[in-house]
Amino acid sequence: MKMMLSEIARAIGSKFNNEKYKDVEITEVQFDSRQITEHALFVPLIGERDGHDFLDAARASGACATLWQNDHELPQVKFPVLEVDDTLSAMQLLAKYYLNKVNPKVVAVTGSNGKTTTKDMIAAVLLQEFNVHATQGNFNNEIGVPFTILQMKMNTEVLVVEMGMDRPGQLALLSELVEPDVAVITMIGEAHIEFFGTRDRIAQAKMEITSHLKEDGLLVYNGDEPLLRNLAASLSQEKLTFGFNEDNDIVGSDIHSYKYHASFITNASDDKFSIPLIGGHNVSNALAAILVGEHYHVQLATINRALQKFKATENRMEWRKGDAGEDILDDIYNSNPTAAAAVLNSFAAVPRRKNGQRIIVLADMLELGERGPAFHAQLAADINPAEIDEVFLYGTLMENLAAKLKEKFAPEKLHLFHIDQQAQLINQLKDTIHTDDIVLLKGSHSMNLDRVLAAIL
């Protein structure tokens, strides 16, 4: 981006602390003082820490102006300051202005599972024909979405933006901010059910992504989910569905999952598609990407090539090499019952190495409310001792799964560790894993399985 401070002030309805600063040039907007570069506008947000306390650090790193919430005492510095009522709202307003200025097509992606992978796939497909900017990392909330917009280059033709939610109304706000041309809903699961109560309410909240879908826009959604079909029926915009049932617009079939990739065919062509991820759930994500690509007139052969080589965001079903020579399937970014069951079934289908074991490490799935214990226990149906050789469980809720698995696994093959026993978990894993083994790690992000992963890499 490149804007004069005077233009930014007009966009957010603010005034300078000194008119001489109007021609200061801004090339970046940043809210993290540690990431500041020269010519950056610093946006001090108020969270666990107050960003206003880090103005000196931002200036030292090269910030050339700052927003300033007017309930804070103005800094006594000779430095460009734009006063606003609320710094987050001002950043969102600036993002809206900049989005309209660049005017790309907007593809917005949400869902209980698979939204990041689907976003990555869509971006890879559209990158074959357009200048694309996409959400990086997990910047998918009311801070991350405007930040993503403000990172766009001026020549961006398509913005692929991921949208997360953990409460009603959140996606409506984000939809209003970006006004998508295409909205994609990957699926409805149990993520955040603690805050919503039922899958029906989760589906209603996910549909908020369409609240500001352009009148000539397109909704792409998982047609295998009756809740979404019912809610989408009243939508006036064009709708396309993907899934494995025959009544979808694009149908995936003949799915084969190997160690490092999965293949499938569709009703759209005779071509066999391939993705560098395993599991039917990732095939479903690819089907959504194919529909979006076709909507923007990308040829199927081009889509196929893009999907074959796309790079998924880190910690999402990524194969890593362990310290003992074992292969580790890293899926530690987050977890919920639907996602865990899907990856367990995919992992169980990966061929063992000669003399090797399949070992799973599962940590608590959080934000499931009072149904958490039951959801954990239900995972026992997806863990078969004929397919899985050793089970390591970590966390309080995993006690419910352990109780069920005791009926199927010998005591020496089932290991339960309490929340304060991560070091013991790591040590026993190291003693258990051998060169020819394959290992799955899956758990909610705040269970810190990244420390376990780091210890065995």
Mean confidence (pLDDT) of the chain: 94
* Both tokens assigned to 242: 């993907």
- Mean per-residue pLDDT for 99-119? 95
The CATH number assigned to the domain with range 3-85 reads 3.40.1390.10
Contacts of 253 (CB under 8 A, 6+ apart): 244, 264, 265, 266, 267
Chain position carrying tokens 């051998």:
434
pLDDT at 194: 66
The structure tokens 């809206």 sit at 96
Q: What is the pLDDT of residue 40?
A: 96
Check if the beta carbon of residue 335 is closer than 8 Å to that of residue 444.
yes
pLDDT at 22: 86
Task: Specify whether the CB–CB gap between 278 and 261 falls below 8 A.
Answer: yes
φ and ψ of 64, to 5 deg: -115, 5
Predicted confidence band of residue 192 (pLDDT cuts 50, 70, 90):
low
Taking only the tens place, the pLDDT of each residue in 250-289 is 999 999 988 889 999 999 888 999 999 999 999 999 999 9
pLDDT digits (tens, 9 = 90+) for 376-431: 999 999 999 999 999 999 999 999 999 999 999 999 999 999 999 999 999 999 99
Q: Closest by alpha carbon to 258, among 286, 272, 278?
A: 278
CATH code of the region 104-309: 3.40.1190.10
**pLDDT, position 18:** 76
- Predicted local confidence at residue 180, as pLDDT: 98
- Phi, psi values for residue 391, rounded to 5°: -125, 125
Question: From CA 455, how far away is CA 457, in angstroms rounded?
Answer: 6
Are the beta carbons of 277 and 312 closer than 8 angstroms?
yes
**DSSP at 131:** -
Mean pLDDT of 226-244: 96
> How many secondary structure helices (H) and strands (E) does the chain include?
16, 21
Pick the CATH number of 318-456 from 3.40.50.2020, 2.120.10.60, 3.90.190.20, 1.25.40.10: 3.90.190.20
> Which amino acid would we find at residue 442?
K
Cα separation, 57 vs 62, whole angstroms? 9
pLDDT digits (tens, 9 = 90+) for 104-113: 999 999 998 8
Whether the per-residue pLDDT at 166 is higher than 90: the answer is: no
- Assign 431 to helix, strand or coil: helix
Average pLDDT on 312-333 reads 89
CA distances from 381 to 220, 248, 330, 408, 426 (A): 31, 28, 22, 10, 26
Which residues face 160 on adjacent strands?
A: 107, 134
- Answer yes or no: is pLDDT of 315 > 80: no
Q: How many residues does the structure list for the chain?
A: 457
- pLDDT category at 312 given cuts 50, 70, 90 is confident
What type of residue sits at position 354? K
Rounded Cα gap, residues 90 and 27, in angstroms: 17
Range with lowest mean pLDDT among 89-93, 123-127, 279-283, 290-294:
279-283
- The C-alpha atoms of residue 130 and residue 119 are separated, in whole angstroms, by 15
Binding residues: 111-117
- Please report the pLDDT score of residue 385 as a whole number: 96
Q: Which residues are annotated as a binding site for ATP?
A: 111-117
What token pair was written down for 125? 């497909």
Q: What is the pLDDT of residue 173?
A: 97
Across the range 60-75, mean pLDDT stands at 94
Is residue 163 classed exposed, middle or buried when 0-12, 13-18 and 19+ CB atoms within 10 A define those classes?
buried
In b/e form, how buried is each residue of 38-73, taking b as 16+ CB within 10 angstroms? eebbbbbbeeeeebbebbeebbebebbbbbbbeeee
Please check the confidence at residue 453 and state whether its pLDDT lies above 90.
yes
Domains of the chain by residue range: 3-85, 104-309, 318-456
